[in-house]
Every structure is written in structure tokens, then in C-alpha cells.
Structure 1
Amino acid sequence: MSLSLDGLVSGLKTTEVIKALMDVHAIPRTLLKAKIDDKNVVMTQLRTLNTAVQNLAAAAEKAAAPGGLDRFTGTSSSESVKVALRTGAAPVSTDIVVDRVAQAHTVVSAAASRWPADPPVLTLEDATGKRVQVQADSTSMQDIAQAINDADTGVLATAVPAGKDADGTPVYRLQLRAEESGEAGRFRVYAGDLAAVTAGTATDVSTEPGAAVIATGTDAQLRLWAGTAAEQVITSSGNTFTDLFEGVDVTVSTVSTSPVTVTVAVDSEARAKASGEFIALLTDIFTRIDNGSKATVAAGQGEKTTLGVFTGDSTIRGLRTALADAIQHPVDGVSPSTVGISTDMYGKLTFDEEKFSEALAKDPAAVGALFSAVAARVEQTATSYSDKYDGLLTSRITGQESEVKSLGEQMERWDVRLAQRKASLERTYARLEVMLSQMQSQSSYLASQINSLPSSRSGSDS
């Protein structure tokens, strides 16, 4: 930190003088900073707009795909049957009969305070016949459960309190449950090692006195067209039948004593809403562009005219025009306005959901084809502007970034020059003080010498 004492000799406020001079020298640097700030504001708006156009391109791509406008609802006539829809679903209605639901294989051992064998060795055998030997650290039922879980055999073991024995010692049952339901999750547990199991001398834990198979691993089963020559039996390891019909998943929770009707129907309201949301993306982009292109004209003398961030930007103007053309031009001679998509005399895009729903109800295929064609044009236009490699908006942003970088480098050079100039001024004024000090010293010396000379009057009196 430098120490500055203003005008010790001259009486000048040198700090203020230097600051005033530096403010004049820094005018070009100040103008550069203002220019960078303006361009950063433009870049922020361009990036926000580019993101919106990218989102529009993604939505348009989905809408342009076959069935992109399709919306369906899935229902069943029973609370025990749930219907979930995915891409590819189509209208269907049929009856199913649920014969059984899936169960996870579960075995519970006899109650004991500790495992009867030491060392405690068990062998688990899965539905494919694969065997895994497990040995616990102690005969504690908790340690045995932990050893089974650590073996990662697809069986979850838990030591469950089962009261106390005659001596008052707490006893436990070992509950073993398959992590996955269905027949493929069935297993057997033997008290003994692999050799004993192979020799047939190991004991099946579930057959010991007080033990039991609580649930046998079972696949869920339902029938389509039950009781007819076309009856079809379908099984699933879980209670969800994935793709029972294309794009339709059915989950069952209880057995049905009578047929349950599963229905997938067209959801006209959802289709109209989805179309309206797509148009809203376009409307939002148009609003952003229009607001950013407005200029505030000076209302009186002394006031300034303020330009919008997009005012005079040919790229942005071209984007708006291209999107407007894509959304409003006819498709095979049919205008989008016939289905409620129109632009007024001021260029404002509107969507008449009621008119769209009516057209959809009369001819869903024609409306779907028209909307897909419009969406395809919008997708093509949006992609050409927002593509992350060669999009026109992307290039515009890249150009702005290059300009800001160049201006920043100019500012750095100005900072160096200004620092050098300030140092030069400080040295100059410091030298000025030194010179004035020297001159004052010389003046004082000369004055003292003159005062010491004998006067002419004193000479005449002698």
C-alpha cells in the first residue's frame, strides 16, 4: 500500500488532480466496459431464447412422430386390477380372469434360542438347483441371518422373536423369504454342508418339527377370452403383466371370481390439451422475441430512446418469420386454422381448444396427420436455429462470445496502459514537489545570504 501526502510543498491536491486526469484517460476503457455489459445482456437473452427453441424442437419431434398426438386412458372394472399405459398403446377393450397372484417363496424355521449345530452350516438351493453353502460366525440366529444375507443368494433372512423357552431364554425363528416373487424364486434350505446335501443326509429346514413353508413361490396367472376356444393363459413372476397388450401394463392384486374388463380408450381432452401445450411453447417464443424487439421512444426533450435487445437483429427476425410460416402455412391445401390454430392480424398465435376438439372428434386421423405435418415443419425450423453445432442462433451466440472476449482483451490492455499512466503522473507530481522543495530551499538560502550582507547605510556611518 503506497503512502501519498498531497501538496506538502505546492499545496496542490495531487490525488484529486491525478484522479481527474485518469478519469479522462479511462474514457475509452469505460466505453469498452459498457459495450461488454450490453453484449452480455444480449448473450443472456440469446441463450434463454436458444434454450426455449431447443425445447420446442424436442417437443415438435415427439409431436411429429407417428401417434405423437395420441393420448389414451386405461381403466378396469375392478379396483384389484390397475392399468398403466406406455408409448405404443392403442385402443382396446377385453375381459381378463385372474386365477392367482404371485407369491414370494417363504420358509420359517422352528423356534430355538440358538442354532442346534455348531459350527452353523446351511446350504441354500435355488429353483435351478444351484447350491450355496453358508457358515455363520456363531450359533446366534441373528448371525445366521446376517450370513445368509451376506451370501447374496436372492434370499432375505430375518431373525424373528418367538417368545421364550421354559428357562426364560428368548427364542427366535429364522424367516427366509425370496427377494423375487414367482416360481423362479423358489428355494430350499438344508441344515448341513454341500457334501451332506449331495449325499442326502442333510435335513430340509422346512420339514423340521415347528418349521413350515409359509408361502410357495408362485407365478401370477390370468386368462384372456376365458371359457372360449381362444382362451389364452398368461403368467408372470410378479403381479404386473408387462405389455399384456402393446404399451399396456396390467397389475393385479387379488384373484377375480368373475371377468374384469380392461379398457384403453382415446382421451380426446388430453389430446387437445397436449396440442395446446405445444402451441404454448411457440407462443412463449414469439412473446420473448416481440418483447425483446420493442423500442421505447423518447416522449420528450432530454429523454432517450431505448432499443430492445433484439431490435434490428436479422437472425431473431428470421427465426420468428420462419416459425410463423411453419405453423400457419397450409398442409396439402388444408389450413391449420381449420383446427383452431391461427394467427391474427398482429401476428399473435392463438389456439382454439374447443374448435380443435370438435375437429378431432369428426376426423381424428386427418387432424392427427395435419398436426404432425405442422410439428415436423416446426421441428425442422427450430433445429436449424438451435442445433448445438451449426444452428443459426448458436452461431449468433458464439459470435457474441468472440466479440466479448476480444473486448475483454482490449480492456486488459487498457488496464495496463492506465496503470502505467497513473504511475507516470504520480512520479511527475512527486518530482514537482521535490523541485519546488529544492527551489524553496534555494530561495530561503539566497534570502538569508542577502540579509546577511552589510547595508550601504551602515558603511557611511563608519
Structure 2
Amino acid sequence: MAITTSGVGSGLDINGLITQLMTAERMPEKQMALKKAEFEAKLTALGSVKSALSTFQGTVAGLTSTSQFRKMSATLADTTIGTVTVSSIAAASSYSLKVDQIAQSHKVKSGSYSSIDSVVGSGKLTIQFGTLEQIDPADPSNLNPDGTYEPTDTKFTLNAKQAAIQVDIGPGSNTLSGIRDAINAKKAGVTASIINDGGGFRLVLSATESGADASMKISVTDDDGNATDAAGLSQLAYDATQAVGSGQNMTQTQQAQSAVFYLDGIKITKASNVVSDVLSGVTLTLQKATEGKTTSLSISRDTSGVVDKVGEFVKGYNELMAQLKELTAYNDKSKEAAVLQGDQAIRSVQTQLKGILNGVMAGSGDLRRLTDVGISFDKAGVMTFDTDKFGKALTSNPDAVASLFGAYGSTTDQQVKYISSKAATQAGNYPVIITDLATQGIVRANTVSNTNFDLTGLSTSFTIGINGKSSGNITLEAKNYGSMSALAAEMQTKINGDTGIKASGITASVVWNSVTERFEFSSTRFGKESKVEIGTASADAQTMLGMTTGKQATLFGGTLMSSTITAGVNDSLTLKVNGGAATAITLDAAAYANGNDLALHIQSKLDAEPALAGAKVVYNSANNRLEFFSANTGTNSAIEITSANPSVRETLGLSVRAGVTTGLDVAGSIGGVQAQGAGQVLTGQGEATGLALEVGGGLASPNGASRGMATYNRGFAYQLDQLLTSIQSKTGTLAGRSDSINKAIKGVDDQKERFERRMVTTEARYRAQFTALDVQIASLQNTSSYLNQQLAALTANNRR
């Protein structure tokens, strides 16, 4: 560029010269600005890509839940009789329905009181539930018009599944309102209210559960010493098998009854109006009887919702691809490239998405590709959706369609249930082998007479520990229970109603084993955390119930494959019991009729050896296995098989092992790799890592044979969802590319900063140079003026 000045000497235009020079020096600054703008445009475009991916992921996530592919719908022709809901496991069909009777809960009322603050009495209320039967249902005189029962024609059978409710009524809560509040504070099975009927105030107790087996029986421990008279707290006693005023002191206002209905002519009785265990996956909520008429119940497959979601997925994919294409395109006409043209990160995203969508699922079924359900690509790469083809596939094989999209697990054994999986779980088919079923902690009482059900005049009490939680003192009512099973039911309701046990969410089971003539106490929980221990037992509890304190060792056998004993093959066992010497028994070779007969024979051999006298064996028919246990409880309770014929494990399910005082976790393998057991849940390792299966029953795998196959698939939607999450994560493809661009922008900013510093130095240098030049020019100008003056003077002198 040309440099101009306004003159020489002191007239030199220094600022103008420097400005023009600096303009030339700053030419690279424009290139840096353009470069930064280009990077920022890419960063903005990547933000748009991330937003588009997030939008697409929303349509993908809607397809990861496999239940929607098996969604069903149901309708009742007469909507006034109730409602119906269905789950994905329901089967399409139609039924006729007739409702004769709906379920209702039991209600009783007290006598009339002048005020809600009237004193009733103090002591303890024990509320139990059961079935109140009329011995002669055809005799209407059994139930009187006033709501009372004729006790001689009435029978009450305790419902062992419902825990007893115990309510302490102290001096501070002995009024009508205080008793109401004390009962309601329990929040367990009964609701209390006070009604003013115009003539006074009555306490009304309502069972929260409906059904014929939820009738209330209210026993009283009255501080006045009489538990049944119509005085003190005994005014609230209610036992329909006792006389009015002598135990039947409240009056029934609503009878407990079950729902009775007919499905395709089959009579069904249920305790609740909410019925979910008649048709698999179908829940009926009954509201009124049909008065002899029938209506129809229709169940069909609902495909509309999932078809819409697949359509949104297809639309979302096409919109995403169109946006990526626009951001990476090159315009041949304008010779201009889009902002992300050639970007490696975007190409990687496109490649990964297409790789999943063009993949093939593991397995051998007909539905393994998206094209098999009507999702394909045209020549331009646009995704298309054939709704008819998809609908047909969904109707004919919903499980297979579900496995194409979501993470889906299934099993071939109905008693082995898929629970869950993890991100590390690999798709595949895994054989399941169960070496040990989960068991419950159990204590078996000593043998007692099967007529020890009359506790009249006895003090029968005990404490018990369930899963590490201890009960308070449990006292059984001193009466004749009529049967050992009824006595077992009484103990179960009292244990499960104990404050300490109930507060921990723990439940126990008590049964009378009529074969071995002993009570069996067990935790309803499975696994090594399942524990039972008798804490204390009164003298009468020890005599009548056979209860002794402590834990009890049990040795659980595997599946009993045969009841045939062959000499020299499976006839020999060596056991140690309660710390005694190891002692061998040899069984008699014979083909025993069943497992129970075999157990009786083994018991005879145990009884014949003094060192094994404490060992007992029973046959568990539900699980088809032999169970050995020590008759002792406490620290001296132990049992162990120390040796056995090689074939004993195969035929009798017995192996060398020690007994336990707790339950056993399920044990076995998934896909040939030893799995982790916790209660009834078996969790895989290796390729099956995180694959959780619940083994609800059945038998241990005989001779190592499989309990069926567990299949796990990670469908297209699941894989896409995982990929999109990874791409958009802080360490994903887009984040890495954004970080790279941000570093480049920072590099430009750093370059600009260095450039600015250099411009300051350059301008200062130019200014110093031109200032020095100005001084030199001024000096020359002064010299020139002086010389001119001298020359002029000389010239003038010469003229003179």
C-alpha cells in the first residue's frame, strides 16, 4: 500500500502513517474471526444435533417397555355391575358372567351409651377372624332378627391367614371414644367408629377385609376379672358361639359374606369384590348382583397404542436423519458445504444408528429383524412402516414382537420367573439348573398326642423369634380348641398379631403335622435370613405343644428320584447327630411304595442306633424330598450326613452336608455358570450377569438336568436407547466433539490475545521510529535554514 505524508520536517503526519501501517499489520485478525465464527457455528450445529437426538430418544424410550406390545383391553356389556381391567398376560376370549352376591365385611355394634366419654372398662381386646357357619343353614332361626345368633347352632372356624389384633385398653383409653381411638391406632384389620342413633352412642366395629372367612371374634381380658359378662370391657366381647350376654355381647349389623358369581356357568366364591385370580391377568371389580341375568365379558388385544408409538418412532427417525443430512450436505450448485459436512462424529452417529436398525436379533424365530414386522427403508434411506404387517405380527406373536424392541426375558419353566436384568446382561439362551431349592427356617416341636387341643385350666404361653425379631409373651386362651389344626391356627394368628412381629413386617406359619404328630413353626420368608427360634415356653406349652427353647438343625435333601433301595448301590448313609459319633445305617433293599414309606423305613433305622436317636426324618411331598432334623433345639442341635453311597445323591437326593438352623438360599447355575442365590432369587454371572430369576417351586434339577431355558434379548429400541444415552453422555461422541471444538475456539482466542499483544508492541515500535525520524527531519530542517542564512549573508557581502 502507498504511504503518503503531508510534508517533511515538523509537518510529518506520524499518526496517519502509523494507522495505515497498523491496518496492514491487522490483516490476519479477520482470518482469526472467520475461523472462530466457523467453530462456533459447528458448536451450535452440534447442539442442534444433540437436541434432535434427544427428541428421537423420546420416541425410542416409548418402545422399550415390553408390556405394551402385549396390551389387552376388556369390556363388560353391563357396566353397572362392575369394572374390569386386564394386564398383558390376559388371553383374548369372551365369557358369560352372572353375579349372585357381592362380598361384604362384618360389622358389629355395642350397646347404647349416654356419651362418647362414657366409661366402658379396661383390659385387653383380642380380635380374630374366621368363618361363622350355621350348622343348619336351612334353619332361619339360627340368625335372629335382632342380629344375634343361636350359639348351639353356630360354629366359628379361625382363619389362620389373618393375624390377631391385640388392643390394650388402659385407664386413659377406657371410654367409648378412647377405645375407638385405640383400635384405630392399630391400623390393622378393624375400623372403629361411634354412631349416634338418636337414643344414644354406639361403638361400631367394621372388618376392613370382606368375605365369609373374615367374621370377627372379639375376646376380652377384663380387668374386673370376668371376660364374658356384660359388664366392664366385657361389654365388647363378641363370640357368636356363646350366649347373648355371656360372650355374645355385641350385635351384628352386617353379616360377613363372600362374592358369589358364575363365569361360563362355573360357580366361583371369593372373599373380595376385587377378583384377580380367576382369569390370568384379569381383575374384576364387582359392584352389584345381576339379579339372575347374565352379561358378557370380552377380552381382546389392544394394538392401537403401540402402533401409534411405532409410527412416532418412524417419523422421529426420518426427521432426525433429514436434519443430519441438512447439516452435513454439500451443494453442488452453490459449491458450498454445510457446517458439519465431513464431520467424523456425525458420520459415527449415523453409522451406529443404522448398524442397530439393520441388525438381527438372537434366536431362531420368524421375527428377528425390523423388516419382519413391517419396518424397512426405501431406496432413499427413508424409514417406512407397514401397519398391516406390524398388526398381524403383533396379534399372532406379541411376545416375539416385544422381544424385538425392549429388553425382554422369558423362561420355559412356569415356576422359574424372569425378574430383571442389567446393562451387562448379554442376549442369549441360558439353561437353568437348580441344585438346591430355597427353604424356610423351621422348628419342629416334639411329638405330642393328637388330642392335646384342650387347654382348659392351663397356662400355655411362649415367646418366639422370627427372622431375628422376637415376640412378646404369647398366651393362648385356656379352652378346648376342638382339633390340633384349630390350635395351630390359633398360635399362627397370635404370633402374626404380636406387636413386635407385626411391626417388622414378618409373618410365620404354624401347622399341625398329623403324620409326625408335632407342631411345625416356620418363617414365610425363604433363604438364609429365614430363622425361627423358640424363646421361652411355659411348662404347659412344653407338655401340651411339645415346645422346647432354641433353634433346630434341619438337613434338606434334594429331589427324591426313586423310592427303590438297591443293596450296595444306594443303601448306605453315615450321620452325626447332636455332636455324637458318626454312625452308619444300611437300608433294606426294597421298592418302597412312596416317599413317606421310605421315610418311615429310614426312621426305623435311625431309631435303632442309640447315637442317632435324636435324628428324625420326614418326607416333604410338596417338594418331593427327604428332610432330616434334630429333635433337639438350642446349641446342641446338629445333624450331618458325613458319607453316602455315590448313587444316594442321584436317587434319594442326599449328599454329604451339614444341617442348618436357618433356611437355604436357592442354588444353581444359569448358562453353565454358578449363579448367586438370595432367598428364591437366582442371579446369573458371566454373560448372564444381572439376569435375575425367581424360582418359586418345582424340584431341584434331577441328576443335573435343566429346569428349562431362560432367554434374554436386548431389542432394537433398548439398544437404541442405550446408544443414544451413551452418545449424549458427558463422555460420549458429541461431548468429545464439542470439547474438541471448544479447545479450538480457545486456541483462536489465545492466538488473538497473543496477536493483540504483538500489535501493541508493533505500534509502539512504529511510533518510536517515526518520532526519531521526525526529530532527524526537524534537525535537518534547522541545519538547512542555518546554511541558507549563511549563504545569503555571503552573497550580500560579495555584492558590496
TM class by shorter chain equals 0.5 to 0.7
Deviation at 1:215, TM superposition (A): 1.6
Alignment length (residue pairs): 397
Of residues 294, 298, 312 in structure 2, which corresponds to 1:280? 312
Deviation at 1:143, TM superposition (A): 3.6
Deviation at 1:195, TM superposition (A): 5.8
Deviation at 1:257, TM superposition (A): 3.3
Of residues 288, 292, 317 in structure 1, which corresponds to 2:324? 292
After superposition, what is the alpha-carbon deviation per residue over 1:221-269, rounded to whole angstroms, capped at 9, x for unaligned? 334454xxxx453323x211113211111121123333634433434xx
Q: Tell whether 2:684 aligns with 1:349.
A: no
> Using a 3 Å threshold, how does the CA distance of structure 1 residues 396 and 405 change in structure 2: closer, same or farther?
closer
Deviation at 1:30, TM superposition (A): 9.9
For residues 751 and 389 of structure 2, what CA distance do their matches in structure 1 show? 68
> Using a 3 Å threshold, how does the CA distance of structure 1 residues 384 and 106 change in structure 2: closer, same or farther?
closer
> Using a 3 Å threshold, how does the CA distance of structure 1 residues 337 and 398 change in structure 2: closer, same or farther?
closer
Of residues 327, 347, 354 in structure 2, which corresponds to 1:314? 347
Q: TM-score w.r.t. structure 2 length?
A: 0.39
Instruction: Identify the structure with bigger relative contact order (alpha carbons < 8 Å, sequence gap 6+).
Output: 1
Deviation at 1:387, TM superposition (A): 2.6
> Using a 3 Å threshold, how does the CA distance of structure 1 residues 89 and 341 change in structure 2: closer, same or farther?
same
Deviation at 1:100, TM superposition (A): 2.3
What secondary structure is seen at the aligned counterpart in 1 of 2:210? coil
> Using a 3 Å threshold, how does the CA distance of structure 1 residues 401 and 326 change in structure 2: closer, same or farther?
closer
Question: In structure 1, what is the equivalent of residue 201 of structure 2?
Answer: 172
> Using a 3 Å threshold, how does the CA distance of structure 1 residues 314 and 189 change in structure 2: closer, same or farther?
same
Deviation at 1:125, TM superposition (A): 1.3
**76-85 vs 247-256, which moves further:** 76-85
What secondary structure is seen at the aligned counterpart in 1 of 2:270? strand
Given that 1:41 and 1:309 are in contact with CA atoms closer than 8 Å, whether structure 2 keeps it comes out as: no
Question: In structure 1, what is the equivalent of residue 479 of structure 2?
Answer: none
Deviation at 1:40, TM superposition (A): 6.3
Of residues 202, 205, 209 in structure 1, which corresponds to 2:236? 205
> What are the residue-to-residue correspondences of 1:6-405 with 2, within 5 Å?
35=39, 38-39=42-43, 41-42=45-46, 45-46=49-50, 48-49=52-53, 52-53=56-57, 56=60, 59=63, 62=66, 69-79=69-79, 80-109=81-110, 110-117=112-119, 123-127=125-129, 130-135=165-170, 137=172, 141-163=176-198, 171-183=200-212, 185-189=214-218, 193=221, 199-201=227-229, 203-205=234-236, 212-226=251-265, 231-236=266-271, 238-258=272-292, 260-267=294-301, 270-271=302-303, 274-294=306-326, 295=329, 297=331, 306-307=338-339, 313-319=346-352, 321-322=354-355, 325=358, 341=375, 343-353=377-387, 365=396, 375=405, 380-384=715-719, 386-387=721-722, 393=727, 398-402=732-736, 404-405=738-739
> Using a 3 Å threshold, how does the CA distance of structure 1 residues 413 and 364 change in structure 2: closer, same or farther?
closer
After superposition, what is the alpha-carbon deviation per residue over 1:21-52, rounded to whole angstroms, capped at 9, x for unaligned? 99x99997996697467436525633652673
For residues 223 and 122 of structure 2, what CA distance do their matches in structure 1 show? 15
> Using a 3 Å threshold, how does the CA distance of structure 1 residues 354 and 71 change in structure 2: closer, same or farther?
same
For residues 368 and 182 of structure 2, what CA distance do their matches in structure 1 show? 71
Q: TM-score w.r.t. structure 1 length?
A: 0.62
After superposition, what is the alpha-carbon deviation per residue over 1:124-162, rounded to whole angstroms, capped at 9, x for unaligned? 412155533233636654443222222334322223344
For residues 30 and 246 of structure 1, what CA distance do their matches in structure 2 show? 68
Deviation at 1:94, TM superposition (A): 2.8
> Using a 3 Å threshold, how does the CA distance of structure 1 residues 401 and 321 change in structure 2: closer, same or farther?
closer
For residues 256 and 385 of structure 1, what CA distance do their matches in structure 2 show? 51
Q: Which runs of 5+ in 1 are unaligned?
A: 1-10, 12-20, 166-170, 430-462
Question: In structure 2, what is the equivalent of residue 446 of structure 1?
Answer: none
Given that 1:99 and 1:255 are in contact with CA atoms closer than 8 Å, whether structure 2 keeps it comes out as: yes
> Using a 3 Å threshold, how does the CA distance of structure 1 residues 196 and 332 change in structure 2: closer, same or farther?
same
Given that 1:292 and 1:310 are in contact with CA atoms closer than 8 Å, whether structure 2 keeps it comes out as: no
Deviation at 1:180, TM superposition (A): 2.8
Deviation at 1:388, TM superposition (A): 6.1
For residues 33 and 224 of structure 2, what CA distance do their matches in structure 1 show? 90
What secondary structure is seen at the aligned counterpart in 1 of 2:99? strand
For residues 268 and 747 of structure 2, what CA distance do their matches in structure 1 show? 81
Given that 1:107 and 1:176 are in contact with CA atoms closer than 8 Å, whether structure 2 keeps it comes out as: yes
Deviation at 1:85, TM superposition (A): 0.7
- Amino acid corresponding to residue 315 of structure 1 in structure 2: S
What secondary structure is seen at the aligned counterpart in 1 of 2:209? coil
Greater helix share, 1 or 2? 1
**205-214 vs 147-156, which moves further:** 205-214
Deviation at 1:281, TM superposition (A): 0.6
For residues 311 and 121 of structure 2, what CA distance do their matches in structure 1 show? 72
> RMSD over aligned Cα, in angstroms?
5.7
> Using a 3 Å threshold, how does the CA distance of structure 1 residues 272 and 107 change in structure 2: closer, same or farther?
closer
Given that 1:298 and 1:304 are in contact with CA atoms closer than 8 Å, whether structure 2 keeps it comes out as: yes
For residues 322 and 310 of structure 1, what CA distance do their matches in structure 2 show? 19
- Amino acid corresponding to residue 318 of structure 1 in structure 2: T
After superposition, what is the alpha-carbon deviation per residue over 1:162-214, rounded to whole angstroms, capped at 9, x for unaligned? 44x7xxxxx53323222333345433456x64566884445343777996322
What secondary structure is seen at the aligned counterpart in 2 of 1:145? helix
For residues 72 and 94 of structure 2, what CA distance do their matches in structure 1 show? 12
What secondary structure is seen at the aligned counterpart in 2 of 1:56? helix
Question: In structure 2, what is the equivalent of residue 438 of structure 1?
Answer: none
After superposition, what is the alpha-carbon deviation per residue over 1:55-77, rounded to whole angstroms, capped at 9, x for unaligned? 537726728xxxx7445332234
For residues 138 and 382 of structure 1, what CA distance do their matches in structure 2 show? 61
Given that 2:353 and 2:720 are in contact with CA atoms closer than 8 Å, whether structure 1 keeps it comes out as: no
Deviation at 1:347, TM superposition (A): 3.2
For residues 192 and 316 of structure 2, what CA distance do their matches in structure 1 show? 57
For residues 355 and 211 of structure 1, what CA distance do their matches in structure 2 show? 67
For residues 227 and 58 of structure 2, what CA distance do their matches in structure 1 show? 68
> Using a 3 Å threshold, how does the CA distance of structure 1 residues 278 and 248 change in structure 2: closer, same or farther?
same
> Using a 3 Å threshold, how does the CA distance of structure 1 residues 181 and 426 change in structure 2: closer, same or farther?
farther
Given that 2:97 and 2:296 are in contact with CA atoms closer than 8 Å, whether structure 1 keeps it comes out as: yes
Deviation at 1:339, TM superposition (A): 7.6
For residues 373 and 728 of structure 2, what CA distance do their matches in structure 1 show? 34
Greater strand share, 1 or 2? 2
For residues 193 and 369 of structure 1, what CA distance do their matches in structure 2 show? 58
